[in-house]
Structures are given as C-alpha cells and as structure tokens.
Amino acid sequence: MTTDFLVLGSGISGLIFALKVAAKGKVLILTKKESAESNTNYAQGGIASVLSPKDSPEKHIEDTLKAGDGLCNKHAVEIMVNEGPQRIKELESLGVRFARNPNGSYNLRREGGHSLARVAHVGDYTGFKVEKTLLDRVRSHPNIRIMQNVFVAELIVRDGTCYGVYVLEDNKLVPVTAGLTFLATGGAGQVYRYTTNPTIATGDGLAMAYRVGAEIANLEFVQFHPTTLYGYEIEGRNFLLTEALRGEGARLMTQDGRHFMKDYHPQGELAPRDIVSRAIYMEMQKYNLPCVYLDLSSIPKERLSESFPQITTTLWQLNINIPDDPVPVIPAAHYLCGGVKTDVWGRTNIVNLYAAGEVACTGVHGANRLASNSLLEALVFASRAAEHVLTEAARPEEKTFQVITSGDKRYGHCSEIKDELRRLMWTHVGILRNDRDLGVARDKILTWLNELEHQLPQLHTTRELFELRNMLTVAYLITESASNRKESRGLHYNVDHPSKDPRYVIDTVIIKPPSDLPVPLYMR
C-alpha cells in the first residue's frame, strides 16, 4: 500500500493536517482503535486564545511563559498565540459551535495560570465536539481514507529519510509507504498507574521515533492533572474533573473540611497545575490520605448542570450528589510537555517525518503547560506543518520494502510487566522524585526492556507485545530525562535538588546511538 500523505493518529492535529493537505494528494489516516478514540476526545476544558477585547496577545504570551518556568521557546509561543484566533475561526467555519453570550461575544472561562478568562469551550464537551466535527469533514472528503484498528509497529527510515511505516498484520510486518509521514499519535499517560488518557495512549509514536534516531526532548515534564475522580475507572482511565470547576469557585479540601491550597500558593485553587498537583500529593503523603476532595458547594446546582453537563451526569450516575457531596479526587498523569523535537513548521530531524500535537515538542509548554494550550498548540502547528509540506517538502524517491515475518515463540508476561511498570512509574517517577528512586526505576525498566529486545526476533508479534515494548521505551526516556535534570523546575520536582539551577535552562534532548537497543525489527 502506498499514499501521498500518511497520517498516524486521528486526534485534532492529525485530522487538521489531513484536511489541509488533501487538496494536493491522497491521504491515508491510520489509527490503532476507532477513529474517535484519542486524547482530543476527552479534553473537557477548551481552547485558550485571545478572543476578548479585554485580552491581548502579550498577556497570553506572558501567562504561557510564566507557567513554563523559564524553559519555553518564546518564538514558538508567540507564533501559537498570534495565530490562535485565526485557527479558532477556521474551526468555526468547519462547524464547531463555541459557547457564546447573549450579545454574541465568546463565553470564555478562566483556568489556572491564566490572568483572565480566555478559554473558548463547548460546555465540558469541547474535545468531543471538535473531534466529531473534524471526523465528519474527513469522512466526507474524497481524497482522505481512514483505516481503523491498525497497529503501526515501526517507522521505515533509511539514511535519515522516512519512507512510511510497517503495520502489524497476522504476525507479519507489512510496509505502507508514503511521500510524507505525519506523526500525530498523542501521549503516553498509560505508563502511569493513574491517568486521564485512554488505553491507547501507550507512547507508540514517541517510541517508534526514538528507535529510528529522532531527537526526543523534555520528557521529564509530565503534567499531572490535579483533579481526577478517585475510586472509579472508566474504560481504563481516570475521569477528569476540569480545571474550569475551580475557575467557577470549587475548592480543594481534606476529608475533615480543611481547605489547604492557600498554604501552598497565593492563587490557591487557580495556581498553575504543577503546584496544585504537588500540593495535593504532599497533603496525601503528609497525612497518609488516599485522596483529597473537591468542594463544589459554592456553585449553584443549576449552573453546574448547565455548564458541566458531562461531569454532572457522570457523578450523579455514580451516586455522587453534587454540589452537596464532596468529590474524591487524586492527581493523574495527563499530558507530556516533551516529545519528538520539532521546529516551528513541525519538522523533525528525520527528512519527511513531521509531527504535531502531544507527541511533539515545539517548546511552547516549557516545563509546565498552561491550561487549555494543548488543543491550541495542536491546531496551530498541525496547520503550519501542512503549509510547509505543501510549499516546501520534496517527495523522496520511491523504494520497495519487504514483508517481515516474525517468530513463533509466545511471550506471556505482557500484562504482568505492564501493571508493575505503571505502579513503578507512579511511585518512583511521579509528582515527587528523588535520585535514588529514579535510579531504581531506570535500572528496572532497562532490565525489562533489554530482556524483551533480545527475545523480540523470535517472538510471535502481537499488538500487546509492541505496546509493552513502547511503554517500556517511553518510561525509560521519562526516567532518563528526569535523572539528567539535577534541579526542580515546573513539573519536575526532585526533593534532592529542590531549587532551580540556571545551568539547566536548556532542553533535555536524548538521541539513541545507532547500536543501542531498542532497534526496529527490520534493522536487525
């Protein structure tokens, strides 16, 4: 199979890119589950952008840089903020209906770290509505084809150029070649015990890119969403309680009713996410608590059901009678601020491999992402990647690649190692870190990964096996990145190095030496 443009992933960045390049050629979108299953689909809050006369690009830039704690790429931030309003208008032209006030102005919400309200939303279904609208457009486009339930196992790279991918099919690796490959595979929250990400978020794109020599940047900065529902899992993920609830007046408290956020930051519940998550975790550790609680009693019931219908309905179905009942919450892995390093046009260091969205690292988030900048970044830089591809990118020469048949030996440890890995990452490479725990985690992960890699050519290849391999690879990269940063900054907090160090106002970049494991199967 061959195509002009190959898109891996069907979240907001993949769909926007596909729609914009489809006028110039055939587009094939490969997604590992149903096409609507992506992190975009679960984004409740909205999209931050300058849409009010009270706001300005300078204020949005300042808030983003402040949250990023000294590590943002200012040029990329300026591009994202200045191009954001245009991209919001494009979404509306495609059919997304953002909430408006009676006078026609945008109904904007304020979230943590923002100096004023600037988050455009569709109730608490923003990601779902954006995803549905874009999918409808993609499905009706004659030049775009979506293939669901396809597992991409490896990127095909020869002499620094990407020619497509190998997909897993009946214990075989089958080549799909393309003039250009766009990586939009999302994040890797499933490497942690608690996560808001769906079960597909196993870091496949990151791991594949690392194996073929892509630069990986800033993976130590894992954002934990402060408030996810404790005690319940919905389809393998923690149910997210949007930051906008705290923007409406919800407060965090312990079981005995003590509100504690002012002890940690003058902005209280509206402090940046890293501070709120760390405060919750420290309270849990200090008093041996399984969770804390979100107090919604200051928000009228009618406003809750009107503004947050998804949350209200879900909690009522679980017999949590908000706003009267406090809601048990715990931080959970939510978003990777690092990823495959790109420039401001989405280009990686591998020719004809572009990336955008959570899998990519443009530098806009620095050490901590400002709330609701994620969908904005995906929109802006997927659009820029499409623009660059259509005007600058040259097609590589066509090459033929052979089907690879894997071994027959069964590997029966996938679920066991996966569960142990997720617990290890939560306890040793989570919200609070120390040198000893990071070293223990790194050694354990490398032991698992090297044992698997040495057996891989003889193994019967399954999706579960490749997902474990990818999770181990990404877990190693997160741990190695965290070990290399001997300071505390943004989302990375090491109790052995609790202060910022000016020597670390640099990106943490990891590139795999060609001879090191893991290696793509076709390179062995």
What's the CATH code of the domain at 438?
1.20.58.100
Compute CA distances 25 → 71, 181, 328, 356, whole Å.
38, 13, 50, 20
Q: Which of 251, 273, 278, 485 is catalytic?
A: 273
Final residue before a domain boundary, out of 331, 366, 399: 331
Assign 113 a pLDDT band (cuts: 50, 70, 90): confident
CA distance 275 to 265: 8
Assign 180 a pLDDT band (cuts: 50, 70, 90): very high
The percentage of residues in the chain with a pLDDT greater than 70, rounded to a whole number, is: 98
pLDDT, tens digit, 9 for 90 and up, residues 388-420: 999 986 777 788 899 999 899 999 899 999 999
Q: Are residues 515 and 419 in the same domain?
A: yes
Final residue before a domain boundary, out of 331, 363, 398: 331
CA distance 358 to 137: 22
Q: Is the pLDDT of residue 17 over 80?
A: yes
Residue 65 lies in a domain: no
CA distance 397 to 275: 50
* Residue 273 known to be catalytic: yes
pLDDT, tens digit, 9 for 90 and up, residues 283-294: 999 999 999 999
Q: What is the CATH number of the domain that holds 242?
A: 3.90.700.10
CA distance 262 to 250: 14
Residue 339 lies in a domain: no
Q: Is the pLDDT of residue 161 over 70?
A: yes
- What's residue 175's pLDDT? 97
Final residue before a domain boundary, out of 310, 331, 352: 331
Assign 323 a pLDDT band (cuts: 50, 70, 90): very high
Closest residue by Cα to residue 220 from 361, 421, 424, 376: 361
Compute CA distances 298 → 121, 295, 302, 494, 496, whole Å.
22, 8, 12, 35, 39
Residue 66 lies in a domain: no
- What's residue 209's pLDDT? 98
Residue 269 lies in a domain: yes
pLDDT, tens digit, 9 for 90 and up, residues 469-502: 999 999 999 999 999 999 999 999 999 999 999 9
pLDDT, tens digit, 9 for 90 and up, residues 52-88: 999 999 999 999 999 999 999 999 999 999 999 999 9
CA distance 359 to 185: 6
Q: For strand 339-341 and strand 144-147, is the pairing parallel, antiparallel, or unpaired?
A: unpaired
> What is residue 305's three-state secondary structure?
helix
Residue 499 lies in a domain: yes
- What's residue 34's pLDDT? 73
Q: Tell me 237's DSSP state.
A: B
- What's residue 25's pLDDT? 94
Residue 299 lies in a domain: yes
Q: Are residues 415 and 317 in the same domain?
A: no
354-377 per-residue burial string, b: 16 or more CB within 10 A, e: under 16: bbbbbbbbbbbbbbbbbbbbbbbb
Give me the number of domains the chain comprises.
2
Residue 372 lies in a domain: no
Maximum CA pair distance of the chain?
67
Assign 111 a pLDDT band (cuts: 50, 70, 90): confident
Residue 27 lies in a domain: no
Residue 314: domain span: 228-331
Assign 185 a pLDDT band (cuts: 50, 70, 90): very high
